[in-house]
Amino acid sequence: MKYQAVIFDLDGVICHTDHYHYLAWKKIADEIGVHFDKTINNRLRGIGRMESLEILLGARSGEFSLQAKEELATKKNEYYRQLLQTMTMQDLDPEIKKTLDIIKARGLKLAIGSSSKNAKLILKQIGLENYFDAVSDGTIISRSKPDPEVFLKASAMLGVKPEYCLVVEDAKSGLEAAKAANMDSAAIGDAVKSGLADYQLKTLSDLLLYL
């Protein structure tokens, strides 16, 4: 078997928190009088909080000091975490859990590779706390995707060389990060359109064909 480990992005792959992100950013945008809609929200997928804020602010970015921006980003995260508290195990698709169990039963190691600083909270809410062999997330990295840092740290935490890791991503920036980390990748959702992945998945269970 070529692969010894699978590294999953969290949002959009294991679970879907896009709507919570949208609601939190929308609340910030409304408070400061900036236009924000779901089209703009889609541009924020797979990138860090401060980069996302810059996209939201757009032409008005220069009106805000660095401190003001940090305060807005912190407030957004507070709104987002409040919304995450409403997540439960019911938000984990049974088919996704079944697929993860099969991969684990085949002897592969499993990791999360997410830019989110809330990854552990989300995993706890959906009943996957302590399920993965490693969680590389926004709390331990300094550079967001498409930088490969988050995946390279996951690889190191697992004790598996990058070339034996397969990354599963739903964002183009994540696929770019996987490539930069010298890892194969499988695309799901919107990332399929990019054509950057080694494998294209319609559902997560398709992953079993390549492991």
SS percent in the chain: helix, strand, coil, step 5: 55, 15, 35
Query: Is 9 a residue of the active site?
Result: yes
Q: Which of 11, 137, 147, 170 is catalytic?
A: 11
Rounded to whole angstroms, the Cα distance separating 109 from 161 reads 12
Q: Which residues contact 159 (CB under 8 A, 6 or more apart)?
A: none
- 3-class DSSP state of 122: helix
Q: Find, among 17, 41, 11, the residue nearest to 29 by Cα.
A: 41
The residues annotated with a catalytic role in the active site are: 9, 11
